[in-house]
């Protein structure tokens, strides 16, 4: 459904200051990096605490956008022949547009909220109802003040059902989302601890969430929680209740868990009914009961419900990037297929700039998808200049005309089975491969064929968590303060190029590495951001210049050698960074060096262009050392002033590391250096930043054995058992980076919700843990070595070190899997 710019002006009460663009608006865009259909897109310049969308108008214009909605009353002078709408608040206008769009459709809309389980319930309902309905739903976890209107905008007359989730973190937000979603049916998942910090009490949070349902025809909710029961009844809307009490409409009478499934028995309308789901955890049982209630209300036959519940698939709505055979990288996004998630996946593919060749493997879109959507997918592929497109499924063959104009090489297969019969891993070499398809096409078989075989110890790097942490620190910065991100030491164990690609996407100002070779790897991976090399020596000068890397100069011998090198090469104004020693006493020019440094800069200053002057705080995380930190800052200011006098031009000053960004905002100067905090470790222990875990190290159980009391475990018989025990051997050892200091009970791992102590000495490739007290353990069970349940800081404490060492010690043979939510 398309709208004219004049109609949009009418919805929002805005004023058209220019109206020269032809055509109508079909897409709303708030991110200039994610524009797929510029000719029919309206770029909305949102203003948030982190970013002003007006700064990206030029970028959107250069990408072909000609419709704009802004809060300012002027455009850059070079922006011509466009249609531009000025409104008082662009976020409120976006929400008004979505609400007006929603009001044009009469088919049912389900609105889901709660503390946990919103996305799971939404996706399971999609799986369960898809055979009977043409469903539009929130992409991924688009449940915010921005995400909800963008989700609702997807509604069109082709659909017969909409399912949207709504999440809030502050009072007043749900009122806006209710007006946009206007749900026919409501689903409340549960009341938990998430986002408590935004509300004065759980009562306020619950009341705010319930505002989504104030006009629904029916609300589905569980009434085991008395708080939820009372709040739902206070709404005075019809209820469909679930719970373990007889008053519930769906009265749960029992759950019986097997090894890999759970049988749930209930009474509904006086009859006993049973479903089996392929999950055993409590959250999945709760979410399945919610979905069961919706199916029963829809009068779906019991046999159909039982069949579909048994086929429920896990919901992992994350992009996964893994190493593949023949020098390839594989991006697995084979959970679902819609235009919104496809645009995100394509953007992630484009970020893998270390690969010149890119291939996209696509399944058919969901059944009943009209032909124009296939043409839209083809348009997106052409715009991103994908080199090869492989389609899987009969509908792509039916609509193959959509692919006719692609510059890419096109291959088509009737199904996954035919692809696997006719193609092997040698079909791909030194390229990035995106798998994008619906679940029913079983693309996981392709993953098995293409992914590099490595042992089962794996470190998952959550790139969305990394982006979240970046934003948390950016919110602490004063206006205009730049940010340098540290990606040295293989990105603190997380992978330099992959992390740098995300940071480049989020437009940080600088990257920093330890050695020139690390900078070369970034350049070869397509990273174009300025890169500071912290440890540059004479042997690396040629490499620095060849790859446009900027050295740290920290002593007279290094500075003079580099000046001599530049003179030999006839180079002038080469970018460099001067390091000052203000109290760390590791590297840098000291205060007594300033006269000689000034003289050298005045004499040879034309050879170099000083981009920044910086120093390193010795104890920024320690309040007891704040007086010393203040002394460092004073020396830094004084010496920067002297260097400024010598140079005669301004440069960037930076002193703050991760801890200082939050603890000592007065020391932010012109730029800050974000290191370990980016990876989710709060070195200052403030606990006031909502950081997320970036790196999760997991392994699996190789073998279980019963060992009698008095027996010993491992080398040198150091692990003696005081009782009959169940011992699990894990596929990880000190060659993977698991310290021998963690042996003999010093360290623990997380298995099935409990800690299991290490028994005996850590081996090169294995270690043993005591799982006697953990029920239901089986071989090949997943084990968390560190991650969200077992923080890396705790593992570091057990081994008598710091989180930096634990992260950077993880061996290269441990597979890194990158995920983006």
Mean pLDDT over residues 207-222, rounded? 96
Among candidate residues 779, 763, 699, 456, the one with its CA nearest the CA of residue 771: 779
Phi then psi dihedrals of residue 230, to 5 deg: -65, -40
CB-CB neighbours of 560 under 10 Å = 13
What are the pLDDT digits (tens) for 123-139?
999 999 999 999 999 98
Q: Give 283-302 pLDDT, tens digit per residue.
A: 899 999 999 999 999 999 99
Q: Is residue 690 part of a domain?
A: no
Task: Using the predicted structure, report yes or no on whether residue 623 has a pLDDT greater than 60.
Answer: yes
Do 662 and 627 sit in the same domain of this protein?
A: yes
Distance, CA of 554 to CA of 558 (rounded, Å): 7
Residues 122 and 45 in one domain: no
Residues 139 and 261 in one domain: yes
- Asked, for residue 467, whether it belongs to a domain, the answer is no
708 and 659 housed in the same domain: no
- For the cut 80, the answer to whether the pLDDT of residue 317 exceeds it is no
402-431: per-residue pLDDT in tens?
998 888 899 999 999 999 999 988 899 999
- Give how many domains the chain has, as a whole number: 5
Tokens of 658: 């991760």
Instruction: Classify residue 396: in a domain, yes or no.
Output: yes
Per-residue pLDDT tens over the stretch 342-368: 888 898 898 888 888 999 999 998 877
Residues 118 and 265 grouped into a single domain: yes
What pLDDT sits at residue 59? 92
Q: Are residues 750 and 774 in the same domain?
A: yes
Catalytic (active site) residue 738: no
CA–CA separation, 339 and 41 (whole Å): 14
Q: Which of 644, 679, 714 is the last residue of a domain?
A: 679
Q: What is the pLDDT of residue 498?
A: 84
For 733-755, how does the pLDDT look when each residue is reduced to its tens digit (9 = 90+)?
999 999 999 999 999 999 999 99
Q: Which of 472, 535, 541 is nearest to 506 (CA)?
A: 472
Give yes or no: residues 495 and 624 share one domain.
Answer: yes
Instruction: Clarify whether 488 is annotated catalytic.
Output: yes
The per-residue pLDDT for range 423-482, each reduced to its tens digit, is 988 899 999 999 998 878 888 889 888 886 656 899 999 999 999 999 999 999 999 999
pLDDT of residue 64 exceeding 90: yes
- CATH number assigned to the domain comprising residue 788: 2.40.37.10
CA distance 212 to 178: 5
Question: Based on the domain organization, do 191 and 134 belong to the same domain?
Answer: yes
Q: Look at residue 453 in the predicted model and tell me its pLDDT.
A: 62
Tokens 């499924």, residue located? 393
DSSP 381: H
C-alpha to C-alpha distances, 375 to 64, 145, 739, nearest whole angstrom: 19, 30, 54
| Backbone angle region of 100, left / alpha / beta, with phi > 0 → left and psi within -120 to 50 → alpha | alpha
Query: Is 780 part of a structural domain of the chain?
Result: yes
Residue 493 pLDDT class (50, 70, 90 cuts) = low
Domain assignment present for 99: no
User: Can you tell me the distance from the alpha carbon of 321 to that of 388, in angstroms, rounded to the nearest whole number?
Assistant: 19
Distance, in Å, from the CA atom of 670 to the CA atom of 673, rounded to the nearest integer, reads 11
612 touches 652 (CB < 8 A): yes
Report residue 383 CA to chain centroid gap.
24
What are the tens digits of pLDDT across the range 28-52? 999 888 888 899 999 999 987 777 8
For 149, 261, 262, 433, 573, the CA distances from 282, given in Å and listed in that order, are: 32, 12, 10, 36, 63
Which residue, among 481, 504, 473, has the nearest Cα to 491 in the 3D structure? Answer: 504
Q: Do residues 526 and 675 share a domain?
A: yes
> Which are the contacts of 691, defined by CB distance < 8 A and separation ≥ 6?
468, 469, 472, 677, 680, 681, 682
Query: Residue 537 is part of a domain; what is its CATH number?
Result: 3.20.20.10
- Within a domain: 412: yes
How far, in Å, CA of 704 to CA of 727, rounded? 6
Residue 54 structure tokens: 């007006």
pLDDT tier at 687 (50, 70, 90 boundaries)? low
**CATH number of the domain where residue 115 is located:** 3.40.1190.10
How many C-beta atoms surround the C-beta of residue 298 within 10 A?
Answer: 13
| Mean of the per-residue pLDDT values of the chain | 91
Q: Which domain holds residue 192?
A: 105-310
Residue 764 exposure: Cα atoms within 13 Å on the Cβ side? 1
Instruction: From 281, 310, 339, give the residue that closes a domain.
Output: 310
Do both 672 and 619 map to the same domain? Answer: yes
- Which one of the listed residues 118, 358, 436, 488 is annotated catalytic? 488
> Is residue 768 annotated as involved in ligand binding?
no
Mapped to the 3 state alphabet, what secondary structure does 482-507 carry? EEEEECHHHHHCCCHHHHHHHHHHCC
State the burial class of residue 171 (Cβ atoms within 10 Å of its Cβ: 0-12, 13-18, 19+). Answer: middle
**What per-residue confidence (pLDDT) applies to 688?**
67
Rounded (10°) angle between helices 626-647 and 594-604: 30
Token pair for 297: 């209300």
* Residues sharing a CB contact under 8 Å with residue 195, sequence separation 6 or more, in sequence order: 115, 167, 168, 169, 205
pLDDT-wise least confident of 93-97, 199-203, 410-414: 199-203
Domain contains 665: yes
pLDDT at 261 over 80: yes
- Beta-strand relationship, 15-19 and 83-86: antiparallel
Mark which of 90, 116, 145 sits at the end of a domain: 90
Asked whether residue 764 is marked as a ligand-binding residue, the answer is yes
494-543 residue pLDDT tens: 777 888 988 998 889 999 999 999 999 899 888 899 999 998 888 899 99
Mean pLDDT, range 573-596, rounded to an integer: 95
Same domain, 580 and 507: yes
One-character DSSP codes across 273-317: EEEEES--SHHHHHHHHHHHHHHHHTT--HHHHHHHHHT------
- Same structural domain for residues 256 and 132? yes
Nearest-5° Cα angle at 622, 618 to 627: 75
pLDDT band at 320 (very low <50, low <70, confident <90, very high): confident
Q: Would 658 be classed as within a structural domain?
A: yes
pLDDT band at 686 (very low <50, low <70, confident <90, very high): low
Helices (H) and strands (E) in the chain, counts: 26, 38
């Amino acid at each position: 459904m398309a709208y004219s710019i004049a109609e949009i002006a009418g919805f929002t009460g805005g004023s058209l200051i220019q109206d020269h663009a032809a055509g109508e608006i079909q897409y709303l865009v708030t991110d200039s990096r994610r524009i797929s259909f510029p000719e029919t897109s309206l770029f909305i310049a949102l203003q948030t605490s982190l970013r002003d969308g007006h700064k990206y108008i030029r970028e959107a214009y250069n990408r072909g956008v000609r419709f704009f909605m802004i809060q300012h009353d002027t455009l850059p002078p070079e922006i011509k022949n466009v249609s531009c709408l000025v409104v008082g608040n662009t976020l409120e206008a976006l929400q008004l547009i979505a609400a007006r769009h929603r009001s044009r459709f009469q088919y049912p809309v389900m609105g889901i909220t709660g503390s946990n389980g919103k996305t799971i319930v939404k996706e399971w309902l999609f799986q369960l109802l898809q055979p009977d309905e043409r469903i539009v739903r929130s992409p991924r976890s688009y449940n915010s003040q921005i995400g909800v209107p963008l989700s609702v905008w997807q509604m069109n007359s082709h659909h017969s059902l909409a399912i949207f989730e709504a999440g809030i973190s502050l009072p007043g937000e749900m009122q806006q989302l209710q007006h946009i979603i206007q749900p026919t049916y409501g689903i409340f998942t549960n009341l938990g601890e998430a986002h408590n910090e935004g509300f004065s009490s759980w009562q306020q949070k619950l009341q705010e969430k319930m505002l989504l349902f104030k006009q629904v025809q029916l609300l589905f909710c569980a009434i085991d929680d008395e708080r939820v029961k009372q709040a739902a009844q206070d709404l005075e809307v019809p209820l469909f209740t679930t719970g373990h009490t007889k008053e519930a409409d769906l009265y749960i009478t029992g759950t019986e868990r097997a090894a890999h499934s759970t049988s749930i028995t209930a009474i509904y309308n006086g009859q006993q009914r049973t479903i089996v789901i392929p999950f055993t955890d409590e959250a999945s049982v709760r979410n399945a009961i919610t979905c069961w209630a919706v199916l029963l209300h829809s009068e779906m036959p019991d046999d159909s419900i039982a069949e579909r519940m048994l086929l429920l698939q896990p919901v992992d709505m994350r992009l996964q990037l893994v190493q593949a055979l023949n020098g390839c990288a594989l991006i697995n996004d084979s959970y679902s297929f819609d235009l919104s998630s496809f645009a995100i996946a394509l953007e992630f593919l484009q970020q893998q700039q270390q690969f010149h060749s890119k291939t996209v493997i696509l399944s058919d879109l969901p059944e009943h998808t009209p032909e124009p959507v296939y043409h839209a997918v083809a348009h997106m592929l052409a715009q991103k200049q994908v080199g090869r497109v492989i389609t899987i499924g009969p509908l792509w063959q039916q609509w193959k005309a959509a692919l006719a104009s692609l510059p890419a090489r096109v291959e088509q297969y009737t199904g996954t089975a035919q692809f696997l019969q006719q193609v092997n891993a040698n079909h791909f070499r030194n390229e990035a491969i995106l798998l994008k398809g619906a679940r029913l096409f079983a693309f996981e078989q392709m993953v098995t064929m293409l992914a590099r075989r490595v042992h089962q110890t794996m470190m998952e790097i959550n790139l969305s968590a990394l982006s979240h942490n970046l934003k948390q620190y950016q919110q602490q910065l004063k206006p205009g303060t730049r940010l340098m991100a540290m990606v040295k030491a293989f990105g603190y164990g997380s992978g330099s190029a992959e992390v740098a690609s995300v940071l480049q996407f989020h437009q940080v100002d600088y990257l920093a590495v330890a050695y020139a070779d690390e900078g070369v790897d970034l350049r070869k991976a397509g990273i174009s951001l300025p890169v500071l090399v912290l440890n540059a020596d004479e042997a690396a000068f040629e490499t620095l210049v060849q790859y446009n890397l900027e050295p740290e100069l920290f002593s007279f011998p290094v500075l003079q050698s580099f000046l001599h090198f530049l003179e030999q090469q006839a180079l002038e104004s080469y970018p460099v960074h001067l390091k000052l020693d203000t109290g760390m006493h590791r590297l840098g020019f000291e205060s007594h060096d300033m006269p000689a440094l000034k003289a050298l800069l005045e004499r040879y200053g034309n050879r170099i262009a000083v981009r920044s002057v910086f120093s390193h705080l010795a104890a920024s995380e320690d309040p007891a050392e704040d007086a010393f930190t203040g002394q460092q800052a004073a020396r830094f200011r004084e010496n920067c002033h002297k260097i400024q006098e010598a140079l005669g031009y301004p440069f960037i000053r930076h002193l703050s590391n991760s801890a200082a960004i939050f603890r000592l905002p007065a020391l932010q100067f012109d730029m800050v250096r974000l290191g370990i905090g980016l990876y989710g470790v709060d070195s200052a222990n403030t606990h006031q930043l909502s950081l997320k875990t970036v790196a999760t190290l997991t392994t699996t159980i190789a073998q279980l054995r019963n060992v009698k009391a008095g027996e010993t475990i491992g080398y040198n018989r150091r692990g003696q058992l005081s009782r009959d025990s169940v011992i699990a051997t894990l596929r990880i050892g000190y060659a993977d980076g698991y310290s021998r200091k963690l042996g003999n009970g010093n360290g623990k791992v997380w298995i099935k919700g409990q800690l299991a102590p290490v028994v005996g000495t850590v081996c090169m490739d294995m270690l043993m843990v005591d799982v006697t007290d953990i029920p239901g353990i089986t071989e090949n069970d997943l084990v968390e070595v560190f991650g969200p349940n077992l923080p890396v800081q705790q593992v570091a404490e057990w081994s008598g070190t710091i989180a930096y060492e634990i992260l950077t010690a993880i061996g290269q043979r441990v597979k890194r899997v990158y995920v983006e939510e």
